[in-house]
Structure 1
Amino acid sequence: MSDTSYTTTNTGTPVAADSQSLTVGADGAIPLIDSYLTEKLAHFNRERVPERVVHAKGGGAFGVFETTEDVSQYTRAALFQQGTATEMLARFSTVAGEQGSPDTWRDPRGFALKFYTSEGNYDLVGNNTPVFFLRDGIKFPDFIHSQKRLPGSNLRNNDMQWDFWSQSPESAHQVTWLMGDRGLPASWRHMDGFGSHTYQWINAAGERFWVKYHFKTNQGIAVLSADQAAEIAGQDADYHQHDLYTNIAEGNHPSWTMSVQVMPYEDAKTYRFNPFDVTKVWPHADFPLIKVGTMTLNKNAENYFAQIEQATFSPANFVPGIAASPDRMLQARIFSYADAQRYRVGVNHAQLPVNAAKTQVNSYSKDGAARIDFPPADRPGYAPNSFGGPHADPARAAESTGWQNDGELLRTSATLHPEDDDFGQAGTLYRDVMDDAAKARLLAQIIGHVGAVKNAEIRARAIAYWSNVDIELGSKLGAALAATSVAV
């Protein structure tokens, strides 16, 4: 069957030639009136949007979330009502690497989810670890700068990383995760995901609960060794992206079981450590997992740029029944992520098909670059109005203001919670969770990473850092590095 389609300009006009410019005169000069040529070149020059400052390298797929259990006693969110199936998008990524960096670098993995719910879009933007390096967003730009490249050599630098980490003891728990086996997942399909932060659920009666999200892979956990990851990085920089795309295309649809930990609202005031500190996990013995449902990815993107690169995620995108917590890192992200998307993709990014809600949007946002949607001509462009325009409904979104104005929750964690130390949970992870083989691999990884530090003071601080996690671990690290020459 012959192809009867024909090439047009971006405004639909048929063009005369795909491969030859318009020329005039004996010298074959190309005139500016060849508008198809100038359109192609001008558009080509603008094909890329700014890459994400963090989580630049990634991929994703579409799927469905099915709520199989009754958790209505905790939340009235429509997507988490038993029997509800919600279309969704997932994006996985590394944190520090650029778009062209290898998938298999040692790094946390982003685990960003967009649920197209009947009450608007809900974004859950987490990682494959239950904790993070920082508890306060004011330090986030500094942390990322320490993980990027030196301005002179344009090379990543272990001294920068350990200079920051060793002066930020709250990072110990996450760095222990990072240097352990799960810092190198075998694929996106074989890693867990976490909301990481504490969030708030509100039920139909207005009762409030604190929750943490867990997505357990149904494929089983699988990891790479450092040698395997390095070898793959040299052979296939898109290894994880290739794995996800190929498996979905072949009908091998990955899935995750979502559960939550639920803390009664009042318990947060007197719990033994600050439950809103994202450098901490809640012990399952105190708050066991409660199953909610299953996430399955079953459809690849048709166009990576339009549907994955232009996908925008923000923790600011809540729905009724879900709200924020006093987590200081979460609150900073609520501003920062939404602002990054307005800069990176544009102020009207939510109108793009991949980001557009599948329910009615009645917004008073006006104009801006790339506006493609607009209200009826007779709708007033302001609120409140007397002419039938949309108006806020407190009954639908009363919880959007976040937690109740409760002074007890806003007091300093040191006053409220006696176990708010920085190294305790990292030590527990090392001593009680890792077996002897995992401990040995962790030590080997730390020796290699800290061994690359050239500055003697920073190296000493790094050894002290790991001694605070576990005295035996720090002693072994110090002994292993003692014979290494150090350039000051």
Structure 2
Amino acid sequence: MPEFNASSQYNGQILRTSWGQRTQDYQNSRIAAISQQSNDNGLQVLMDNLQMIENLNKFNREKIVERQLFAKGTGAHGYFELSNDVSKYTRAKFLNGKSGKQTPIFARFSPSMINSKGFPDTVRDIKSFDIKFYTEDGNFDLMTQNSQVTFIRDAAKYPDFIHSQKNNPQSNLKDYNSTWDFLSQTTESINMLMRFYGAEFIPDGYQQMNTYGQHTYKWINDKNEFTYVRYHLINNLGQNFFLIDEQAMDLFKDPDYFTSMLFNQISQGNFPTWTLKIQIMTQDDALKSKYDIFDSTKTWDAQLITVGNIVLNKNPQNNFAEVEQVAFNRGHFVDGIDSSGDRLLQGLIFMDQDSNLFRLGSNYDQIPINKPYKVKQISYSRDGASSFTSNFGNSTNYYPNTLNGPIPDASIKPALSTASSTPSTQKTYDDFTQASQLYKDMSKYQKEILAQTLVKDLKQVKKSIQQKAVDMFNKVDVDLGSSINNQL
């Protein structure tokens, strides 16, 4: 177990208040004698003891707003090491150069998308692995989850999807009726449901978990040509799973199983690693694709290309300062990387930013863990609560100006685009073919586990919603629908 280190940085120095006054007594209230006729032994606590008041005030304010999603988390520092120059696809500097080039990173993991901080790590839920790359051209955030696909393809559905998965607003208990009422009427969720309830979904720790960017992004090269890209993080230990919920339930006695395993492995020098791989599609590939390549509920049929390795080799020094205060945004790009016509991605970029502002304040980017420390932050944004810098001093706060203020970089050109770069307009949505093929490729045992796990939840749902769910799984495969129906 981790222990506190001796405070060598303080070396027994005198304790001081936040305003710098030396502290004489840290453990006793200041008291004064009062009339002997009182019933309190003639003593009264004085409220002019500002040090005590400050300690009590700050204690009440130690917690910040909990993340709406992925509330529980742990993290680690490390580096990304380039192994394959991909400059033919992107001009992003940290992805160009010789093999072995390193970029410092900070990663945050979460064991549950929906549940609060108190939930066990091994719960059956979406798990996240988010990485902040501190590149020479600014910060790049890569947000990934342990499934290649999502439940929905459009951000307009996002609040309703999350509400349907959260606890009932009256009882504050898990409401399987609302969960399945939404999902059974949202057929685009079927590809994700086949994975979520499958035998290979609950990993045996973060270091044995593969994760995926899910969304479609653009990479832009020096010629301003762009390709579409999806990210894969493949762990180098090989995947290992808790095959059924009961095996994971055994670990509820260790609710921080994933967290402690990651921390201890790094402490012992067993650094977890992942290989960053990408799938690439040109505009022509996108037009030929059977599916809309911007649809995050579908996988791509494209070859994987290795880019480099992720290594986590240092635990945080302070969980609050680093893991709790780190802020990610799918829209934090560097030159050479951009968003696409992915409708879910577009909405989540806004939601990520809004969540960070709500949770950490307008100057969250000044918090050390979030600062792009390889480049200087230069903008016309000013003020706001808890500004920790000089606030750009007496320099001008508007643009354009004639006062030699900072200017945009005219050398950066937008990616070349044509009408053919919007392949989604030419596609129809087919929600069942990929799910059907996934089921056909499963072993007999995997099919049994899938049906059993689905039935476990559906047994807690009223009959009318059960029937809608069975009808949906019948469209995947009649055998699957029949197996679920018979067990219900």
The answer to whether the aligner puts 1:439 opposite 2:447 as a matched pair is yes
Match of 2:172 among 148, 154, 172: 154
Alpha-carbon separation, structure 2, partners of 1:409 and 1:416: 11
Helix, strand or coil at the partner of 2:281: strand
Alpha-carbon separation, structure 1, partners of 2:64 and 2:138: 26
The answer to whether the aligner puts 1:251 opposite 2:269 as a matched pair is yes
The answer to whether the aligner puts 1:308 opposite 2:323 as a matched pair is yes
Q: Report the counterpart of residue 15 of structure 2 in structure 1.
A: 7
Helix, strand or coil at the partner of 2:474: helix
Give the length in aligned residue pairs: 468
Q: Report the counterpart of residue 24 of structure 2 in structure 1.
A: 16
Shift of 1:204: 0.9
The answer to whether the aligner puts 1:265 opposite 2:266 as a matched pair is no
Q: Report the counterpart of residue 222 of structure 2 in structure 1.
A: 204
Match of 1:468 among 458, 475, 480: 475
Alpha-carbon separation, structure 2, partners of 1:189 and 1:95: 18
Shift of 1:375: 5.1
Q: Report the counterpart of residue 139 of structure 1 in structure 2.
A: 157
Match of 2:181 among 157, 163, 175: 163
Aligned pairs for 1:106-121 (under 5 A) are 106-121=124-139
The answer to whether the aligner puts 1:355 opposite 2:370 as a matched pair is yes
The answer to whether the Cα contact below 8 Å between 2:277 and 2:304 also exists between their aligned partners in 1 is yes
TM-score by length of 1: 0.93
Aligned pairs for 1:46-445 (under 5 A) are 46-83=61-98, 84-93=101-110, 94-224=112-242, 225-233=244-252, 235-283=253-301, 287-358=302-373, 359-374=375-390, 376-396=392-412, 398-399=413-414, 406-410=418-422, 413=424, 416-418=426-428, 420-432=429-441, 434-445=442-453
The answer to whether the Cα contact below 8 Å between 2:226 and 2:416 also exists between their aligned partners in 1 is no
Shift of 1:30: 2.0
Q: What do residues 255-306 of structure 1 show as CA deviations (whole Å, max 9, x unaligned)? A: 00011111012332342110000000002xxx20111000000111111011
| Stretch of structure 1 that moved more, 320-329 or 118-127 | 118-127
Alpha-carbon separation, structure 2, partners of 1:337 and 1:36: 38
**Structure 2 unaligned residues grouped into runs of 5+:** 1-7, 35-41
Alpha-carbon separation, structure 2, partners of 1:465 and 1:91: 35
Shift of 1:378: 4.4
The answer to whether the Cα contact below 8 Å between 1:173 and 1:426 also exists between their aligned partners in 2 is yes
Corresponding letter in the other structure for 2:268: E
Q: What do residues 156-207 of structure 1 show as CA deviations (whole Å, max 9, x unaligned)? A: 1211111110011101111111101233111111010111101000011111
Alpha-carbon separation, structure 1, partners of 2:151 and 2:467: 20
| Stretch of structure 1 that moved more, 113-122 or 267-276 | 267-276
| Stretch of structure 1 that moved more, 264-273 or 214-223 | 264-273
The answer to whether the Cα contact below 8 Å between 2:210 and 2:235 also exists between their aligned partners in 1 is yes
The answer to whether the Cα contact below 8 Å between 1:70 and 1:81 also exists between their aligned partners in 2 is yes
The answer to whether the Cα contact below 8 Å between 1:101 and 1:237 also exists between their aligned partners in 2 is yes
Alpha-carbon separation, structure 2, partners of 1:378 and 1:163: 57
Corresponding letter in the other structure for 2:325: Q
The answer to whether the Cα contact below 8 Å between 1:76 and 1:204 also exists between their aligned partners in 2 is yes
Corresponding letter in the other structure for 2:249: A
The answer to whether the Cα contact below 8 Å between 1:114 and 1:124 also exists between their aligned partners in 2 is yes
Alpha-carbon separation, structure 2, partners of 1:366 and 1:378: 11
Shift of 1:478: 0.7
**Structure 1 unaligned residues grouped into runs of 5+:** 482-488
| Stretch of structure 1 that moved more, 16-25 or 33-42 | 16-25
The answer to whether the Cα contact below 8 Å between 2:432 and 2:475 also exists between their aligned partners in 1 is yes
Say what the alpha-carbon RMSD is for the aligned residues: 1.6
